[in-house]
Amino acid sequence: MEIYRNIQNHIKTLLNQFPIVAIIGARQSGKTTLSKLLCPDWLYVDLENPGDFDRINYDPLLFFEQNSHNVIIDEAQILPDLFPILRGIIDNDRQAKGRFILTGSSSPDLLKNISESLAGRIAYIELPTLKTNEFNQTKLSEFYNILSSTHKIDDFHNLKTSISLKNINQHWLYGGYPEPRINGKKDFWLNWIEQYNNTYINRDISLLFPKLNKINFRRFLQILTTLSNTIINKSDLARDLEISQPTIHEYLEIVSGTFIWRNLPSYESKKIKSIIKMPKGYIRDSGLLHFLNKIFELEHLYNNIIVGRSFEGFIIEEIIKGIQAQGIIGCDYYHYRTRGGAEIDLILEGNFGLIPIEIKYSSHTTIKQLRSLTDFIRTHNLNYGIVINQAKEITKLTKNIIQIPANFL
């Protein structure tokens, strides 16, 4: 089954503007499939394949002299010596665009080599796991087009959707890794996710960080699943695991750099002095989160203690996926919490301004629940804020707070 990805047109645009495009993202997010779909006639080289690796590694200069255009190089971070050579190949014909696609599933290694060797010659873009509309093969919501333009709160009333709340809940439960979602069978999803989790620790992390204590890292990952969508206190984590705080910092960088975890920094405002400045984070794929918490059915999820936090993380990731797919540049993501208990789940900041978003698992949001959002809007003199929940229709809850059901995202 061929899945159209929201980000395809944006990648095509970048290929017309840059000699190299790097597609980064979690393992099995669909990078290889998308690269081959976009450029089916290009030479494909997989650096995890010993034959392909030897073919390039034996004499990379000769390889690129013979293949100076139209090459896909999968898992490019495995062979960092390629990057200086690629720079020379690109500079020999600086005006030629769309010559190479690189893919990578470890952003620290790949981005480090990009910045050192290929700055100005390469664009990189993240391919996340499937967004709900991608799995259901419907158009990306106009929500993101509205965000990126000059708009008013009432513009959101014009949103349309062909995605149901049932679609949203199914995707929330099982997550967005393409292969198990396309297969559609629960037993396959369970087996696939289990193997993915084992491979991530036993092979991927071991190769990238050979000195890593796998037992400690596995314990860390298990604890992290219980903390998804909470403020992360590194000293508490270190004490619970009986390891050093610098090691916790390293572990968090690993899970973030391999696209398993997303860190949301705290939004800091000069107008509010009591902000808690620690970051918040969550397991990016909700299906992986649920598997690690042994949640395999929607009924179990609805009755689980993590239900609200899981839904919040899922919706935050859905919004970020949509913003990236729309090609909105310069957008930053934050959470907000004060020592007095005021909290907002997601704050977007970009050329469109500052937009606070509160996420509720329920289908009904009361005015009392909007106090933090109302105070933040007033303090920062904003035009509006958004509530995402599981209601049936878009409606204004107050004159400057609009409710948008999750299936309109």
- Whether 313 shows a pLDDT value over 90: the answer reads yes
pLDDT attached to residue 281: 94
- Rounded average pLDDT over 238-249: 91
3-state helix, strand, coil in the chain (%, to 5): 45, 15, 35
- Residue intervals in the chain for CATH 3.40.50.300: 8-126
What pLDDT, in 10s, does the model give residues 265-312?
999 877 777 888 889 999 999 999 999 999 999 999 999 999 999 999
- What span, in angstroms and rounded, lies between the C-alpha atoms of 248 and 243? 7
- Rounded average pLDDT over 301-329: 95
What pLDDT, in 10s, does the model give residues 183-194?
989 999 999 999
Q: Is the dihedral of CA 32, 137, 313, 156 positive or negative?
A: positive
Classify 8-126 by CATH class. alpha beta
127 close to 6: Cβ distance less than 8 angstroms: no
CB neighbour list of residue 28: distance below 8 Å, 6 or more residues apart: 177, 178, 179, 196
Closest CA to 205 of 263, 255, 261, 262: 255
What pLDDT, in 10s, does the model give residues 44-66?
999 999 999 999 999 999 999 99
